[in-house]
Amino acid sequence: MTVEFRVWAPAARRVSLRVGADTVPMTRAGQWFVASAEAGHGTDYGFVLDDESTPLPDPRSRWQPSGVHGLSRVYDHSRHRWGDAAWTGRQLPGSVVYELHVGTFTPEGTFDAAAARLPYLSELGVDLIELLPVNTFNGEWNWGYDGVGWHAVQESYGGPDGLKRFVDAAHRAGLGVIIDAVYNHFGPSGAYAPRFGPYLSGGANTWGRSLNLDEADSGEVRRFVIDSALQWLRDYHADGLRLDAVHALVDRGATHLLEELAVEVDALSAALGRPLSLIAESDLNDAKLVTAREGGGYGLHAQWDDDVHHALHALLTGERQGYYGDFGSPACFAAVWTSAFWHAGTWSSFRRRVHGRPVDRSRIPGHRFVVCLQNHDQIGNRAVGDRLTASLSPGLLRVAATLLLTSPFTPMLFMGEEFAARTPWQFFTSHPEPALAAAVADGRRSEFAEHGWLSDDVPDPQDPATFERSKLDWSARDESMLDLYRTLIRLRKSVPDLADPRLDRVRVVHDEGVLLIERGARTVVANLTKNPRTVPLSAGRILFTTDEAAFLQSGSATLPAESALIL
């Protein structure tokens, strides 16, 4: 069949299409070059710029079977026969999210192997699966944040067909799929898009050159991002996107890229007849991201809330290094549980400046904030990638789960958390270039030194053993912990007060290691101390407890050490 090939290359004098064994001159059409050629599904192709001899992969490639440095391959989306015609989607409010990394969720590390675990996730009670980035990166294993092909799917996971099979199977199991999308930088190896045009600005962020969102010729760069986002939702039937580190998207235009994206995603949602969610990761502590456009916001559906994680983690573990320095007090817990942010126009000692702004609790519901006890960052960015199971007692792990799953926010679990996994989740890469591999390893050691961790403790990201250690050990499941998570998720969905997102209706009282949280007609009590505590309470009955030794008597409840209950 005849296929039209197009590539944006505004500064090129000429571009040729290399398709199969043929070289076809391309015709300039404004800033684009266009050519038609006979090419069916599975045909390899690339673009040759000016006087170069080596063809480069298509910046908008849908398929990179030979890796990020290889030729692109024609991919026909219509070949897949979807089986999810009855799928009506999953809205974010009321949902429980489960974050997983395809490469380490199962021993095989593929979409098909992950799909075999979908009945387990369905039984657990989660609603949405959030996949760490699945677009193409250099090498065989990676967290995914070094992606360079923003329109293609990593081949070692199963490629585009594998992702479609996974999403199809998830929908048939009643589970939605969110894809983590990284648009704030290109990875350090295999990023050929900037060879074609001004995809990058003159500025930089933590990970390298920033994307060109507001400088000359930025219109096509913005379109490049939006088209990538829409294809995950439209062509792969995903139910939402988690947008990585949006604070690094520098856009000084009148309409921010995030707002423009939200408008187009809402339009696609209306056309498809199912909810589509945009979830931002942001370090700004600014609810403008999730404020409706009618109210002057960007209209995203939710944002990650690190303050809730930090408040819980520091309170339960006692850690105060790095950005945990301002967190950990019961007053901090009470503030984030009722107001979402701790830094809300207040001093941040880690940043050494005032940070954040208050959330309008009467207008913005808690479900717009995705919160967790653990996630890929908060585990993987520790020196040895240790989970909470390495620092908390079984009792406090149960208390933590109870607090998370009775919160007014959207709770998210990290793979294996629900069965008290002890396998670490470490930072791993497989860069083929020795110099790049060494630079990444040195950078990690320097970063951890700033947090007080010794460089000798930091595993080599390039060592295959680092990747293998990070795979879940399904044979070491704590079944009692798994039962607790299943019970708490079921309660959250069956007792409306426990999922009520109205922040202005949450009340927190704390006293000497005991937290009392009023959730409508329900009360959550947590004893964080190593001693039994008796707490004055009005009449009620125990709906749930992490320790069967808890009991009620006239006007009070007695909780064993490190336990929680729901009245």
Give the number of other CB atoms < 10 A from CB of residue 554.
5
Nearest C-alpha neighbor of 181 from the set 221, 153, 202: 153
pLDDT number for residue 554? 85
Mean pLDDT across 552-558: 91
Three-state secondary structure call for residue 48 = strand
Q: Is 281 a catalytic residue?
A: yes
Number of DSSP helices (H) and strands (E) in the chain, helices first: 15, 29
Three-state secondary structure call for residue 243 = strand
Residues in the chain: 567
Show the tokens assigned to 254. 């009148």
pLDDT of 457 above 80: no
Phi first, then psi: what are they for 125, rounded to 5°? 110, 5
pLDDT tens for residues 468-516?
A: 999 999 999 999 999 999 999 999 999 999 999 999 999 999 998 999 9
Rounded Cα distance between 544 and 567, Å, is 7
Nearest C-alpha neighbor of 91 from the set 304, 291, 277: 277
Q: Is-contact 122 175, C-beta < 8 A?
A: yes
Residue of 58, 168, 244, 306 marked catalytic: 244
Q: Provide the sign of the torsion angle of the four alpha carbons 496, 502, 505, 509, taken in this order.
A: positive
pLDDT number for residue 449? 62
Strands (E), 54-196: 72-73, 97-100, 128-131, 135-137, 147-153, 176-181
Give the number of other CB atoms < 10 A from CB of residue 363.
12
Q: What is the 3-state secondary structure (H, E, C) of 169-185?
A: HHHHCCCEEEEEECCCC
Rounded Cα distance between 369 and 426, Å, is 26
Instruction: List strands edge to edge, sheet with 544-545.
Output: 506-511, 514-519, 522-527, 563-566, 544-545
Rounded Cα distance between 382 and 458, Å, is 9
pLDDT tens for residues 86-139?
A: 999 999 999 999 999 999 999 999 999 999 999 999 999 999 999 999 999 999
Report CA 69 to chain centroid distance, whole Å. 26
Report CA 275 to chain centroid distance, whole Å. 18
Show the tokens assigned to 285. 């502590």
Residues whose CB falls within 8 Å of the CB of residue 363, separated by 6 or more in sequence, listed in order: 291, 295
Mean pLDDT across 437-455: 69
Rounded Cα distance between 34 and 459, Å, is 47
Query: What are the distances in angstroms from CA 17 to CA 27, 52, 56, 80?
Result: 10, 12, 10, 27
Burial class for 549, CB neighbours closer than 10 Å (0-12, 13-18, 19+):
exposed
pLDDT tens for residues 12-50?
A: 999 999 998 899 999 999 999 999 999 999 999 999 999
Nearest C-alpha neighbor of 142 from the set 159, 163, 128, 157: 157
Per-residue confidence at 538, pLDDT binned at 50, 70, 90? Answer: confident
Residue of 281, 306, 418, 500 marked catalytic: 281
Three-state secondary structure call for residue 237 = coil
Phi first, then psi: what are they for 199, rounded to 5°? -70, -20
Query: What are the distances in angstroms from CA 378 to CA 83, 139, 237?
Result: 36, 24, 29
Burial class for 202, CB neighbours closer than 10 Å (0-12, 13-18, 19+):
exposed
Phi-psi map region of 89: left, alpha, beta (phi>0 left; psi -120 to 50 alpha): left
With residue 155 as reference, give the H or E element that holds it.
Answer: none
pLDDT tens for residues 356-411?
A: 999 999 999 999 999 999 999 999 999 999 999 999 999 999 999 999 999 999 99
pLDDT of 144 above 60: yes
Show the tokens assigned to 374. 């653990």
pLDDT number for residue 456? 64
Q: Is 497 a catalytic residue?
A: no
The residue to which tokens 């090419």 are assigned: 39
pTM recorded for the entire structure: 0.97
Q: Which residues pair with 515 in a beta bridge?
A: 510, 526
pLDDT number for residue 454? 57
Mean pLDDT across 522-537: 96
Three-state secondary structure call for residue 35 = strand
Please give the mean pLDDT across all residues of the chain: 95
pLDDT number for residue 435? 87
More confident site: 53 or 456: 53
Cα angle 166, 488, 94; round to 5: 60
Q: Is-contact 281 244, C-beta < 8 A?
A: yes
pLDDT number for residue 40? 93
Show the tokens assigned to 531. 């001693």
pLDDT number for residue 450? 60
Strands (E), 382-531: 410-414, 506-511, 514-519, 522-527
Burial 393-413 (b: 16+ CB within 10 A, else e): eebbbbbbbbbbbbbbbbbbb
With residue 18 as reference, give the H or E element that holds it.
Answer: strand 15-19
Rg (the chain; Cα; Å) = 25
pLDDT number for residue 452? 60
Mean pLDDT across 163-175: 98
More confident site: 300 or 537: 300
Percent of the chain with pLDDT over 70: 98
More confident site: 447 or 80: 80
Q: Which residues pair with 420 in a beta bridge?
A: none
Helix axes 306-317, 394-405, angle to 10 degrees: 150
Rounded Cα distance between 143 and 379, Å, is 12
Nearest C-alpha neighbor of 364 from the set 310, 287, 435: 287
